[in-house]
Amino acid sequence: MFEGVPLTWFLIVSTIMFFVGIYGFLVRKNLITILMSIELILNSVNINFVAFNKILYPDHLEGMFFTVFVIAVAAAEASVAIAIIINIYRRLVNIDVEKMNEMKY
Amino acid sequence: MIDFSYTIWILLIPLILFVVVGLFGNRFKPIVSGVVGTTGLFVIWILSLITAYKYFFLLEKAGDGAFQKLIAANYRWLNLTDKLHIDLGVLLDPISVMMLIVITTVSFMVHLYSIGYMHGEKGFERFFATLSLFSFSMLGLVVATNIFQMYIFWELVGVSSYLLIGFYYTRDTAVAASKKAFIVTRFADLGFLIGILMLSYATGTFDFITLTSANSPAFTSGQGIWFLGLSTMTWSMIFVFMGGAGKSAMFPLHIWLPDAMEGPTPVSALIHAATMVVAGVYLVARMFPVYIHEPVALDIVAWVGAFTSLFAAVIACTQFDIKRVLAYSTMSQIGYMMLALGVSGYGGHEGLGYMASMFHLFTHAFFKALLFLGAGAIIHAVHSNYMNEMGGLRKYLPITHITFLIACLAIAGIPPFAGFYSKDEILVAAFHHNKVLFAIEYIVAGLTAFYMFRLYYSVFWRKEVHYHHTPHEAPATMTIPLIFLAIGSAFTGFIPFSKLVTSDGFPLEIHTEWNVAIPAILVAVLGIIVATVLYLKENSIAKKIISGLGGFYTAAYHKFYIDEIYLFITKKIIFNLISRPIAWFDRHIVDGTMNGMAYITNEASGRIRKFQSGQLQEYALVFVSGAVLLVLLFIYLWTN
């Protein structure tokens, strides 16, 4: 399907996704959006893994497997993160990250 | 070969008594503690007598006819290396067996006496527990197989003495006295420890039998000139004697003993008259074969003993507290024992001083314990320590009166009482060694008779003073020990001591040298006559003599200002010149450095604490920027 697509293009896409995720993580105030940004970051990494595996070492499968692991961990992480967010909401009736500044000096 | 392994129980029974009475004594009536403690002491008294009988009469002598030194029990306590190990055990030789008798006899008598004397006191069972601890420590000290075991028990004795002097811990003077006794003896024990370390470093052993044997390493090692023209071994013996001088209240470490009279009177009788204070004499006697090879150290022993005996006898003539008179008298008599050791040689008739010293230790224990217990009975009857508040007590306290008189005659050296025989041997030994010391001892013999009979007349004769209630004789538990000890004081002089306890273990033939003994008796009688003239009836002669003596009397009355000199040295000199600068350095330089570092850290943290804002995204931004910077740095490094 992607025969003949050069590696660089994949990397360009994943880099764009990565920095979009970083940008979202840093500037959005909503915890859910921040969680989504983290997913973007993880998935950009996944693209890198798969692309390197497919193009540089076509007869190996480590990159694929690693991606599957990352997806599984990301799912687990999302469930934990959402549980935390729900608890925060119950306490503060708010999920604005800037309001959560109790743990300071 | 007779089995002596049971002697370990002589040590263990008082220890068990201490633990049991100390822990459970307060669950029962106080009298139970007293009876249990006294019964235990009775058992070990019997055991000690059996041991002495078996040791002196049944045990076969060594090949050459001397009493042998045998290890009855031994337990390797600290096995540090093959060569360096610390043992605990039981060593039986003539002097340790003799000390077993002295300690258990006096301790048993004092236990029995205390049941009556301490009756109704708060802390009755605590008193008996501590007495047991003391008996244990003292017995452990005398049977020590090595000098380190002796040091351990030496300190235990110091602790139990501290506890017993401070028995009335609600009284400030008693607390101060117990602290003073502990600190002064502790200071002396520092010297003892230094001596032990030097000795064992030079010889490579702690063991008494090795140290005192004929080819002891102490005779060959450490002989070179080391410091101030004396060898290592001489210095170590001097330091060891310092420990002994502290415990035995020798000048100038004597200041604790008079104050120690703050303790209950039975304690004074047991610890500060008969047993603990002779530990120093015992120590020198134990190390005697080594001392013989260090004439300088032995001369120090002799002169310190002679000076102390004269010094203390002079002070004793001026004191009014009857227990203090007896305390100074104790110092004086221990000075006699030290002197006798100091003038003694080794073996045969040369070793007469050694035998005399041990003999005097033995008889002194009886009559001095009797004097203290008698003083206790007097104090019990009139509730005062001061002889000018007493008088005419012979009517009210007949048994105390007779026993006290026997003790006074014994200590004054009037035949046939015990003190005469032992003191005579000391005088003979001094006579053959050093005429100056001999002259001092004659003076002291006269002074001893004088101050004892001054005390005796002031308490039992003179005009009767007005008492708040009629004095009454003490109960039987108190008079029985008095009678027993009076019998001891009267007859122990007849024990053929020279056959049993000698410097080298061989029996010795002695006879009374009347050319020495008769002047000694005359001097003692002279002292008694002077005391009779001055103190039998109220008269003004004593006052005239006192005003004639003027400054000397005042100085003696104030104990020659030794306490004041100590206070001056410690407070004015050591505190002001050494401690204060050190305290200032500690407070300002040492603490200042640490406080400065803490202050700088604190200030710096205060400045940068704002970074921890609690804003999650600020942290993330810093983190991402850092990561990006690192990546750029790596790329830059790789491409070049």
Chain A residue with Cα closest to B615: A101
List the one residue out of B152, B158, B302, B178 whose CA is nearest residue B241: B302
B467 pLDDT exceeds 90?
A: no
Report the distance separating Cα A48 and Cα A69, nearest Å.
Answer: 14
As a whole number of Å, the CA-based R_g of chain A is: 17
Mean pLDDT of all residues in B286-293: 86
Mean pLDDT of all residues in B127-143: 90
For an interface test with B, give the residue of A38, A96, A104 to mutate (most B CBs within 10 A). Answer: A104
Report the distance separating Cα B517 and Cα B419, nearest Å.
Answer: 12
H/E element holding B89? Answer: strand B85-92
Per-residue pLDDT at A71: 93
What tens digit of pLDDT does each residue of A65-91 get? 999 999 999 999 999 999 999 999 998
Please report, for chain A, the start and end positions of each structural domain, with discontinuous segments joined by +. 7-99
Architecture of the structural domain at A7-99 = Orthogonal Bundle (1.10)
With a CB cutoff of 8 Å and minimum separation 6, the contacts of B502 are B94, B351, B354, B355, B508
A20 pLDDT exceeds 80?
A: yes
User: What distance in Å separates residue A23's CA from the closest CA in chain B?
Assistant: 10
Q: Binning pLDDT at 50, 70 and 90, where does residue A1 land?
A: low
Per the model's pLDDT, the better-predicted residue between B471 and B453 turns out to be: B453
Chain B residue with Cα closest to A101: B614
What tens digit of pLDDT does each residue of B386-432 get? 877 777 777 888 888 888 888 888 888 888 888 888 888 888 888 88
Per-residue pLDDT at B601: 93
pTM: 0.78
User: Residue B267: what are its φ and ψ, rounded to 5°?
Assistant: -65, -45
ipTM here? 0.81
Mean pLDDT rounded to a whole number for chain B: 85
- Whether residue B263 contacts residue B358, with contact meaning beta carbons closer than 8 Å, is answered with no
Report the distance separating Cα A72 and Cα A79, nearest Å.
Answer: 11
What tens digit of pLDDT does each residue of B472-528 get? 777 888 888 888 888 888 888 888 877 788 777 777 777 777 778 888 888 888 888
Judging contacts by C-beta atoms under 8 Å, the chain A residues touching residue B620 are 25-26
Chain A residue with Cα closest to B606: A105
Q: Binning pLDDT at 50, 70 and 90, where does residue B354 land?
A: confident
Mean pLDDT rounded to a whole number for chain A: 89
Mean pLDDT of all residues in A2-28: 90
Per-residue pLDDT at B421: 84
Share of chain B above pLDDT 90, in %: 10
Q: Binning pLDDT at 50, 70 and 90, where does residue B63 land?
A: low
Q: Across the interface, do B614 and A26 touch by the CB < 8 Å criterion?
A: no
Q: Give the relative orientation of helices B295-316 and B322-343 as an angle to the nearest 10 degrees.
A: 160
What tens digit of pLDDT does each residue of B181-239 get? 898 888 899 999 999 988 888 888 888 888 887 777 777 776 777 777 778 888 888 89
Share of chain B above pLDDT 70, in %: 99
- Whether residue A11 contacts residue A51, with contact meaning beta carbons closer than 8 Å, is answered with yes
Q: Across the interface, do A26 and B613 touch by the CB < 8 Å criterion?
A: no
Residue pointed to by tokens 């190390």 = B287
Q: Across the interface, do A22 and B614 touch by the CB < 8 Å criterion?
A: no
Q: Binning pLDDT at 50, 70 and 90, where does residue A2 land?
A: low
B26 pLDDT exceeds 90?
A: no
What tens digit of pLDDT does each residue of B562-593 get? 888 888 888 888 888 888 899 999 999 999 99
- Which of the 8 DSSP states describes residue B272? I
